[in-house]
A and B are shown apart, each in its own frame.
Chain A
């Protein structure tokens, strides 16, 4: 019983991290069809933004305030990655719409530049972010069964991010414009929607969410310039498995991968478990190349 609950919790925890790193990509790749290889580096930027926030809090504010740095770090990470995304879209991505191969190569180049930039500014070794006191320890569910607060916090953060994204995309004016442009660019333009602005904002928001993911990852361990490269494959895997274009697909994809991963690792070993998960994904995509939740739109078909 204990073991089952613990495995379920671990699975949920892995899923939440997968989902967090994939949510931003679900927008830039899923909605906009930009193969953004620099997504991992946007996560890295978010992580370093958290590191900087932490250092600033240490230097500028009294000891008692330190615990709150993490609350400030979430919007700071978002803004840092958001602004970088805006710059990236304006200077590079907007010339590459509808050219997936070129955007793949170009954004990969951007990824290398950003990694080197981080190395120059923060140094090659990993840096540690001290988790705030209130996230240490865990919730004792029963004897010998403890859910760490950090993991619970990340699950909560993912749920909140998802909720806000849902409100933005499906309930706001800006979100409606965004969906219209992604479905039928020409017609949206003919109705007076500024497609340029929608593109820039959409890409920036996807980047900003990657920043939030980076912020959350600082809770899991030290961070370094190549942080993003560890996560980029997983992020693409989740979005492709989920099916591009719909948020719910990404959620199901992340939970699916996270849960099966934990189960396989429990039944076999850590490395064999990962191999089995990848095999399952490859087999599944042979059967359903469009992913779990397939959506057909004009913009994706053409």
Chain B
């Protein structure tokens, strides 16, 4: 259960998000839509704690985490796949995955099989440096790294950006299987309408840093798309 209330956030002097409220229920896949520059990534960063909230609150499982560090949020069960993947380029693929275990509750040093099960290319590349991987492979690694700690909420920031179609399909399958299991809730920021329609339960559309529209899959009709999403 992730809830954001009246959040205001931004960089330095400039305010990006104003009065944003949203909630992600158990087992839900909630999608964040909007044109470029409306504040999707800013919202993701604020939820993770990379950006400090100016006003409003972020609560997770009933606990107010607004003032908590990203590390605390990670350890309490929030997994993050950032935009641009943010792989540790000088570390090996295996080391990148081991770092994903830092937030896990058990003191294990073994990468859970579930984390890499959906990305069969990764185990074959364990010894290679993260920076040597292609964009798509890095995206899969970032995904597996986030799954390694068995998070209860997953923040996915444009996981399909600049990725070849077959890997987009893989990622779609992973999100669907996570959803089918029902243990993990997902907040997904994405540009591709087709993609979010195929996995999402509930939708928020941001415009100029505020929630302009929200609703279920059947309400997300052509008129809404034309109004808020067509460039």
Contact = CB atoms under 8 A, between A and B. Distances in A.
Given A186-B50, A194-B71, A179 B91 contact: yes
- 10 closest A-B pairs by CB: A192-B103, A192-B74, A192-B102, A187-B86, A189-B70, A190-B70, A190-B80, A192-B75, A192-B71, A191-B102
Number of chain A interface residues as a range: 20 to 34
B192 interface: no
A195 B49 CA distance: 14
Given A186-B50, A189-B70, A297 B95 contact: no
A118 B110 CA distance: 49
Contacts of A164: none
Number of chain B interface residues as a range: 20 to 34
Nearest to A197: B71
B145 interface: yes
Interface string A136-162: 000000000000000000000000000
B71 A176 contact: no
A183 B71 contact: no
Interface string A168-190: 00000100110110011011111
A297 B145 contact: no
A295 B100 CA distance: 24
A180 B91 CA distance: 8
A191 B98 contact: no
Contact of B90 (A179, A186, A189, A195): A179
B56 to A, nearest CB: 20
Contact of A188 (B49, B75, B99, B149): B99
B88 interface: yes
B196 to A, nearest CB: 23
A179 B149 CA distance: 20
B70 A180 contact: no
